[in-house]
Amino acid sequence: MKGETLTYFADKQPLVADIFSRYPASPQGRRSALMPLLREVQNAHGYVSEAQMAEIAALCGTTATEVRSVMSFYSTYHTVPTGKYHLQVCSTLMCSLAGSDELWDHLVETLDVQPGEVSPDGRFSVQKVECLGSCGTAPMMQIGDEGYYESVTPSKCARILAALHADTPLAPDNLVPVTVNAEGRQTLATGEMVGASIGGLSSLTGGTA
């Protein structure tokens, strides 16, 4: 198992303290830190192992069952290792009409990898995902968290794969529209900050929680 340590957060106490500081100091608040903790592990390892689920459960004061339940709800969390390039093929209606099934079959055959597997060279893993909101440029796929590769025709697919094999990925056609930065802030592809800031929060008057 690559890079797996039994206690991922043991030497990252400042980070853990920072994440917990974003939530109320109550048992419910501790549980809320589940998502950023999961994201942290996933970003580092590409997936969250059972041992790390148990570790996160202990940090949040809940059980591994609860952690797995939350994790499994979101298709972006993985319980099995992913490749260096995680290809997420949109398989919802628009892309499906535009040929995403053929794209998927092509990827699975040429890369010799099934969902949940990593190709022998460790480069590729594939996943079918639901609509990524790029219907006008179907079929499309997202690679890792980098960005959208749109209107993926057979020839474009071949170019993308060749570039990935050479570890010189092509630039995405578009960045992922909204990402969450290290401070927990939502950021548009343009760099504009959106959503509430977690800094400078003040308690509402009249409440205790």
Partner 1 sequence: MKVTIDGVQVELPAGTSAIDAVFHAGQDVPFFCAHSYLSPVGACRMCLIESGSPRKNPDGSFVMEGEGDAATPKIFWFPKPMASCTMQATEGMHIRTAATSDVVAKAQAGMMEFTLLNHPLDCPTCDKGGACELQDRAFEYGYGASRFGFDRRHADKHYPLSDFVILDQERCIHCKRCVRYFEEVPGQEVLDFIERGVHTFIDTEEGGLPTGFQGNITDICPVGALLDNVARFRGRNWEYDHTPTTCTLCPAGCSITADARNGRLERVVARENREVNEAWICDAGRFGHVFASEARLTKPLVRVDGQLVETGWDEAIAAIRAGLDGLNPADLALFLHADSTLEEGAALEALAALTGTASVDHWPRYPAEVLSNATLNDIATADAVVVLGADLGEEAPIVELRVLEMLRGGILPPEYAHGTAIADLRLVERPARKPEKLAVIGSPSRLSGHAGTFVQASHADLLTLIRPDSEGARTALNLLNSAKNPVLILGADVLNGASAGAFATQLSDLVARTGAKVMAIPAAANSRGLGHLNLVPRTGGQGYAAVNHTRAAFISRLDPVAAGQRLGGFSIVHDTHLTATAQAADVVLPAVTGYEKRGTTVNVEGRLLPLQQAALNAGEAADLIRTLAALAEALGVRTRIRGLKSAQALLQTRLGVDVTGLPEAGVIRPLGPVYAAPTGQAHRPQLWTERMTLKPDPWKATWVDRIESLVENKWELPMAGAQTAGGDD
Place of tokens 């970003």: 43
Shortest distance, CB of residue 78 to partner 1, whole angstroms?
13
Q: DSSP per residue over 28-89, as a string? A: HHHHHTHHHHHHHHHHHHSS--HHHHHHHHHHHTS-HHHHHHHHHHSTTS-SS---SEEEEE
Shortest distance, CB of residue 116 to partner 1, whole angstroms?
14
What residues make contact with partner 1 under the rule CB under 8 A? Answer: 50, 53-54, 62-69, 72-73
Nearer to partner 1, 80 or 158 (CB): 80
> Going by C-beta distance under 8 Å and a sequence separation of 6 or more, which residues neighbour residue 74?
none
Nearer to partner 1, 16 or 51 (CB): 51
Shortest distance, CB of residue 52 to partner 1, whole angstroms?
12
Nearer to partner 1, 60 or 98 (CB): 60
Nearer to partner 1, 92 or 137 (CB): 92
| Rounded Cα distance, 9 and 25, in Å | 19
Q: Which helix H or strand E contains 97, and what residues bound it? A: helix 93-97
Shortest distance, CB of residue 28 to partner 1, whole angstroms?
8
